[in-house]
């Protein structure tokens, strides 16, 4: 059983491998884990920089149409050249990229086999819908508005219809605002770094209220931090986008990180084994 593992923003494959060790040690030795580094350098979280050496990488600097498509293509190139892989495992933005690839494949090529037979999403950010939008955002670091977003509008809505548009009330756009808000707080990356004024186009996100509860049909495991203030809701939203028949959600007491207690780590490992069993039996 081969796993392709995608790290989070501002980390790298070696960091993810270390973070994943407690779970891997509880899984069968026949499970093989392979790790893919992002191509873009970025800024790490302070606790990551204190604990791990760089380089600190990401798959894309922000969810712009070209950047996310390029990252998805890079992963699919690895699948084509080095695959097949049975399971994709992602943490944070790596989970978002994995889910983006699976959701796009299901939407665009529903009759074809999915690029992965199952997925593990840890502290996930929601997936972005390739080819959607775009959502245009004007950003000013001097603005007192949330995330310093001065103005936002959906380019798929005529200009005359977007008066009073509130990005935080749009389920397909609010995740982008939340990510910019977090990046602004931490001054991470070229978007929302607290220094530049800019306008940019972003993809819209998948949301179950718009795209239903079967956007991803393969068996899934979702690991969510109960106190993940910024992205916990997004992890739960991704779970709702996945088929309930093969979905398992494991919640731990911490924040935006892997579970650190033995009991929850045991539950995650057991959920992954049950998911793999569904794959072996050919169950969705």
Q: So which residues are the catalytic ones? A: 92
- Per the listing, tokens 């950003």 go with 139
Nearest 5°: the CA angle 262, 87, 33 is: 65
- Contacts of 271 by beta carbon, 8 Å cutoff, 6+ apart: 221, 248, 250
Q: What are phi and psi of 6, to 5 degrees?
A: -120, 125
The two tokens of residue 5 are 């593992």
CA distances for 234 relative to 47, 81, 107, 176, 247, angstroms: 22, 32, 20, 11, 16
Among residues 125, 120, 37, which one has the least CA distance to residue 78?
A: 37
Angle formed by the axes of helices 262-281 and 13-24, to 10°? Answer: 90
d(CA 80, CA 84): 7
Q: Where are the alpha helices (DSSP H) in 27-173?
A: 46-51, 65-82, 93-108
């Amino acid at each position: 059983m081969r796993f392709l593992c995608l790290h989070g923003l501002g980390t790298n494959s070696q960091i993810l491998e270390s973070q994943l060790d407690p779970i891997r040690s509880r899984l069968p030795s026949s499970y093989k884990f392979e790790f893919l580094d992002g191509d873009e350098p970025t800024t790490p979280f302070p606790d990551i920089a204190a604990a791990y050496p760089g380089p600190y990488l990401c798959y894309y600097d922000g969810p712009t149409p070209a950047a996310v498509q390029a990252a998805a293509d890079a992963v699919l190139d690895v699948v084509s050249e080095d695959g097949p892989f049975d399971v994709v495992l992602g943490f944070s933005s790596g989970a978002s990229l994995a889910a983006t690839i699976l959701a796009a494949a299901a939407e665009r090529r529903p009759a074809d086999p999915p690029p992965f037979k199952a997925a593990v999403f840890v502290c996930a950010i929601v997936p972005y819908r390739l080819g959607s939008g775009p959502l245009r955002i004007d950003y000013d670091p001097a603005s007192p508005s949330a995330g310093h977003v001065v103005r936002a509008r959906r380019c798929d809505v005529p200009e005359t219809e977007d008066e009073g548009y509130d990005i935080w009330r749009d389920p397909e756009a609010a995740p982008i605002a939340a990510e910019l808000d977090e990046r602004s707080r931490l001054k991470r990356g070229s978007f929302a770094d607290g220094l530049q004024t800019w306008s940019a186009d972003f993809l819209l996100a998948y949301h179950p209220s718009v795209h239903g509860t079967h956007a991803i049909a393969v068996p899934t495991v979702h690991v969510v931090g109960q106190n993940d203030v910024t992205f916990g809701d997004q992890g739960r939203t991704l779970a709702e986008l996945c088929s309930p028949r093969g979905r398992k959600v494991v919640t731990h007491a911490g924040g935006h990180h892997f579970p650190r207690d033995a009991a929850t780590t045991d539950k995650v490992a057991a959920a992954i084994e049950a998911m793999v069993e569904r794959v072996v039996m050919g169950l969705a």
